Each structure stands twice: as structure tokens, then as C-alpha cells.
């Protein structure tokens, strides 16, 4: 029964022949998933994360590794080097976990990562979101497939959840019937964590489950309808250039602006909708020139509005106390041929060769006249936040003519297309 269900879900969610990886913790749910897919022709990689938060985690990770290897998987244990984490442990561990697995997926060209989220996980997530006073979109719950839900850690990778309609009990019954042992994370009993509180709350109130799920179904349908409206509006008023800057001929709906800001910023954090509405009001003023919000900048340019990366987030701001620029050197990156994410907006190193990438603002003097001319159509404040590639042999700056330099892949358009649920054909 489980095997049939998982295979049917995968055939619906993942293209035939496309390899996928499985996130494996050694717990009861992911153990069942790894075992059920051991003979699947598209199943090749298993990634295990050792969070290194308690003694014995290394032994547990190795035990999980041996289990998966016994079925012929290519298995890697990824260790989180975190120093000392004392606050927000679960959320930081979640981001680190997906960051480690995202890096491996991109390196192997894997576009789909399977997780063992089950029926109860979805209901508990809904309960937690209500407890945090989520908006109606958060009440939609988990989806069977989600493109890069943790950004930018999962850039280019979709999370697939083939077990969302399968109960925790059924998964453990599957393990028992196949004489499979699994480990239990001690944190699953620690009531200081929000998920465990939600789990205990729902256990005492089973009638709430059906109500949560029906509301979730209704909200997912509403999101689909909303996205169609937003997609139609973007196709009428919007374009994206090859560098990920968005051009709008009219002021967009607030929710479309929300998606545009998140995409151009390269960040994953939420944005206060009230601040978005205030921004849209300022944009209606005749003398509006520019404004920043949530890591993005909006400018009036040639009778259009242009949305791109906030240059201050890339070049750094002046430190008011020390009168110096607080520049983040993390944007000076080198790839040895393995894909890396730059500022949440580009993946570089995809050509399989060493590349050095940096922000343009620090390298303007290296541009040739032809390269400078190429960028004239982009507002200066957005231009300087673009990436450039330094040729280690010629020490020259390289910006593609009509295309980006081979080995650089922009992320903004794909991210916005996923959020709006359709193709954005107008690219300039």
C-alpha cells in the first residue's frame, strides 16, 4: 500500500527519468520512505545531516548511512558546523539542514529533494501557523511540491512531499512489518518546542484536525485563484531583464509587489504587508524617485518603475560611529566548478570551471567601454549591485553581451514564475 502510494505520487510530481534525492534523518518516517524507494529507478542519492547538537549524533548519522547504503544508495553525511547555538535552535537547524542539502543537490544537478513530511506534520504545521497568527495564505499548509521553500538555501531545488496524506502510524506499521528499526529524536518529546506543543494540543482535540484540513484545502484554492490574477497583471504591465531587474509600467497589486520584492532582493524573509501598501502610496506621488524595502529598491525610470536589489545591501552602508563602509566580503566568492549561490539572485560556477565573482560597485574601473554601454539601460543604483566575473587569467571584467557569462544562472525570473504559477514570457 505504501509503496504503491509513493510511486504514484512521484510519477505525478517528478518528471520521468529525473533523478531525485531523499532527506534521511533515521527517524520512523524517513526510514520508511528510504526503504520504500530502494528500487525506484529515479532514486539515487540520500543525504543525512548531522546537526551536531548533542552527543551521539555522529553515531546515529553513521547508522543511518549504513542503512541507506545497504540498499545501494549514494549516501553522504553532511555535518553542521555551528559553533555554539543557544537561541532559535530548531529554526537555525532547519535552515542549515536545507542549506547543506541544497548545496549537494546543485552540485549533483539534482532538482528534487524528497522529505518524509506526513499527515500529522501538515496538521501540526497548520496549528503552529495559527498560533503565530498567520495570514490566510499561511493557512494553506504544506504542498506536495514546493520550489525552494527555504531561500536562498534551496535555490534551483524543489521539495517533494509524497507522504502528506500518509499517517505517522501507517509509516511505523510499515517499518514493523518489514522488521526495520528506526531512531527517535529526543526533541520529539521536549515540550519547549512549538511543534511538540501543537502535537500535544491536537492529540487532546482530534475534532480540530478535520476543520484545519478543510480550511487548508479552501485556502490553497484561493491562492491558485489569486496567483492567476497576479500572473495576468504581470503579463500586462511587467518585464524582467536578463539580470533580474523587474520593470513595471503601472503600480502593481500589493501581493504582486510582495513577490517582486522578495524575488529581486534574493532574500527569504517575510515582508510586512502594511509597509508594502505604504510603498505603493508613495509610488503614486508625482515626484516619487526611489524607495527601498526589504532588501530591494524601487525607482522611477523612463516612465516605468524598476525593482532591483537595494545597492546598500550589496555595497554596505557607512558606519555612523566609525565613518567607514561596513562592506560584506561574503560577496567576493570563488567557485572551484561547483555551483554556488551569490546574493540569493544568481548561481555561478555551473560551467564546471573555476570562477571568481564579485559585486560590480567595487569593480567599476575594470569595465570596458563596450561593457559600460551595455549597462546604460539599467539605473545606476541597480547596476552597481549586479555580479561580475573576474577572469583569473586576463584580470578583466566580463559581462555577457546579450547573455550572462557562461556559468552564471539568474534566479529571479524562475522564482517569480513559481510564485505566480506560470511563465513570464516578456524578458528584455
CATH number at residue 154: 3.40.50.620
Average pLDDT over residues 227-246: 95
Q: Is residue 141 assigned to a domain?
A: yes
pLDDT at 180: 96
Q: Given pLDDT bands bounded at 50, 70 and 90, which one contains residue 427?
A: low
146-202 residue pLDDT tens: 999 999 999 999 999 999 999 999 999 999 999 999 987 666 666 677 888 888 888
Do 6 and 152 fall within a single domain?
Answer: yes
Q: Is residue 9 part of a domain?
A: yes
Residue 197: phi and psi, rounded to 5, are -60, -45
pLDDT of 310 strictly over 90? yes
Q: Which residue do the cell numbers 506499521 mark?
A: 173
**Exposed, middle or buried: residue 305 (CB in 10 Å: 0-12, 13-18, 19+)?**
buried
Within-domain flag for 226: no
DSSP summary character for residue 251:
P
The three-class DSSP label of residue 144 is coil
Distance of alpha carbon 231 from alpha carbon 226, whole angstroms = 9
CA distance 223 to 420: 10
Confidence of residue 425 (pLDDT cuts 50, 70, 90): confident
- Asked, for residue 294, whether it belongs to a domain, the answer is no
What local confidence, expressed as pLDDT, does residue 322 receive?
46
What are the DSSP E strand ranges found in 111-218? Answer: 112-114, 145-147, 158-160
Find, among 428, 385, 156, 157, the residue nearest to 265 by Cα.
385
Q: Which three cell numbers stand for residue 392?
A: 583569473
For residue 332, the model assigns a pLDDT of 84
Domain count, the chain: 2
Q: Give the model's pLDDT for residue 331.
A: 82
Decide if 50 is inside a domain. yes
End of a domain among 177, 205, 233? 205
The DSSP output letter for 409 is E
- Supply the pLDDT for residue 394: 45
The answer to whether residue 167 is domain-embedded is yes
- Which of 205, 240, 270 lies at the terminal end of a domain, its last residue? 205
Same domain, 16 and 164: yes
Taking a C-beta distance cutoff of 8 angstroms, is the pair 343, 386 a contact?
Answer: no
pLDDT for res 324 = 45
Domain that holds residue 154: 2-205
Residues 165 and 18 in one domain: yes
Q: How far apart are CA 83 and CA 70, in angstroms?
A: 33
Query: Are residues 45 and 33 in contact, defined by beta-carbon separation less than 8 angstroms?
Result: no
Choose the weakest-confidence range: 6-10, 130-134, 183-187, 418-422. Answer: 183-187
Tell whether the model's pLDDT for residue 223 goes beyond 60. yes
Whether the predicted pLDDT of 323 surpasses 90 = no
pLDDT above 90: percentage of residues in the chain: 64
Distance (Å, rounded) from C-alpha 232 to C-alpha 151? Answer: 25
Shared domain check, 338 and 191: no
pLDDT tens string 75-119:
999 999 887 777 778 888 899 999 999 999 999 999 999 999 999
Cα distances (Å, whole numbers) of residue 357 to 43, 365, 376, 399: 34, 16, 21, 11
Is residue 10 a part of any domain in this protein? Answer: yes
- pLDDT for residue 67 is more than 70: yes
Q: From CA 200, how far away is CA 408, in angstroms rounded? A: 47
pLDDT digits (tens, 9 = 90+) for 14-60: 999 999 999 999 999 999 999 999 999 999 999 999 988 777 788 99
Rounded Cα distance, 203 and 3, in Å: 28
Asked if 332 and 201 sit in the same domain, the reply is no
Q: Write down the pLDDT at residue 298.
A: 98
The set of cell numbers assigned to 31 is: 526510514
Which residue, 154, 183, 205, sits at the end of a domain? 205
In a domain, 274, yes or no: no
Q: Which letter does DSSP use for residue 252 in this model?
A: P
For the chain, the average pLDDT equals 89
Cell of 353: 570551471
So what's the pLDDT on residue 387? 86
Joined together, the cell numbers standing for residue 122 give 501538515
Rounded average pLDDT over 196-219: 90
pLDDT score recorded for residue 244:
93
User: How distant, in Å, are the alpha carbons of 113, 153, 174, 230 from that of 158?
Assistant: 6, 11, 26, 22
Position 402 pLDDT exceeds 70: no
Amino acid at each position: 500500500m505504501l509503496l504503491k502510494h509513493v510511486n504514484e505520487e512521484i510519477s505525478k510530481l517528478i518528471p520521468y527519468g529525473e533523478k531525485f534525492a531523499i532527506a534521511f534523518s533515521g527517524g520512523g518516517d524517513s526510514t520508511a520512505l528510504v526503504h520504500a524507494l530502494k528500487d525506484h529507478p529515479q532514486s539515487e542519492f540520500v543525504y543525512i545531516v548531522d546537526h551536531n547538537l548533542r552527543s551521539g549524533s555522529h553515531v546515529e548519522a553513521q547508522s543511518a548511512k549504513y542503512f541507506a547504503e545497504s540498499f545501494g544508495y549514494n549516501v553522504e553525511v553532511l555535518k553542521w558546523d555551528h559553533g555554539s547555538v543557544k537561541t532559535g535552535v530548531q529554526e537555525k537547524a532547519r535552515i542549515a539542514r536545507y542549506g547543506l542539502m541544497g548545496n549537494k543537490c546543485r552540485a549533483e544537478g539534482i532538482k528534487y529533494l524528497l522529505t518524509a513530511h506526513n499527515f500529522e506534520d501538515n496538521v501540526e504545521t497548520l496549528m503552529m501557523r495559527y498560533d503565530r497568527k498567520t495570514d490566510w495564505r499561511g493557512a494553506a499548509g504544506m504542498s506536495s511540491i514546493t520550489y525552494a521553500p527555504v531561500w536562498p538555501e534551496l535555490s534551483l531545488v524543489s521539495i517533494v512531499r509524497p507522504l502528506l496524506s500518509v499517517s505517522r502510524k501507517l509509516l511505523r506499521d510499515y517499518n514493523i512489518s518489514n522488521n526495520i528499526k528506526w531512531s527517535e529524536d529526543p526533541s520529539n518529546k521536549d515540550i519547549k518546542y512549538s511543534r511538540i506543543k501543537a502535537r500535544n494540543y491536537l492529540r487532546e482535540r482530534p475534532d480540530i484536525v478535520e476543520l484545519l484540513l478543510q480550511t487548508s484545502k479552501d485556502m490553497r484554492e484561493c491562492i491558485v485563484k489569486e496567483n492567476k490574477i497576479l500572473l495576468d497583471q504581470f503579463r500586462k504591465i511587467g518585464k524582467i531583464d536578463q539580470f533580474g531587474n523587474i520593470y513595471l509600467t503601472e503600480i502593481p497589486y500589493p501581493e504582486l509587489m510582495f513577490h517582486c520584492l522578495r524575488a529581486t532582493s534574493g532574500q527569504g524573509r517575510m515582508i510586512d504587508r502594511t509597509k508594502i501598501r505604504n510603498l505603493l502610496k508613495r509610488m503614486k506621488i508625482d515626484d516619487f524617485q526611489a524607495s527601498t524595502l526589504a532588501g530591494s529598491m524601487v525607482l522611477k525610470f523612463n516612465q516605468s518603475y524598476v525593482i532591483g536589489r537595494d545597492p546598500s545591501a550589496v555595497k554596505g552602508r557607512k558606519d555612523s560611529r566609525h565613518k567607514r563602509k561596513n562592506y560584506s566580503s561574503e560577496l567576493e566568492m570563488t567557485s572551484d566548478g561547483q555551483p554556488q549561490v551569490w546574493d540569493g539572485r544568481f548561481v555561478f560556477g555551473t560551467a564546471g570551471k573555476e570562477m571568481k565573482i564579485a559585486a560590480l560597485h567595487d569593480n567599476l574601473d575594470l569595465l570596458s567601454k563596450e561593457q559600460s554601454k551595455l549597462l546604460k539601460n539599467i539605473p545606476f543604483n541597480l547596476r552597481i549591485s549586479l555580479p561580475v566575473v573576474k577572469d583569473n587569467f586576463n584580470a578583466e571584467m566580463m559581462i555577457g553581451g546579450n547573455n550572462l557569462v557562461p556559468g552564471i544562472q539568474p534566479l529571479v525570473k524562475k522564482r517569480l514564475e513559481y510564485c505566480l504559477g506560470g511563465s513570464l514570457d516578456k524578458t528584455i
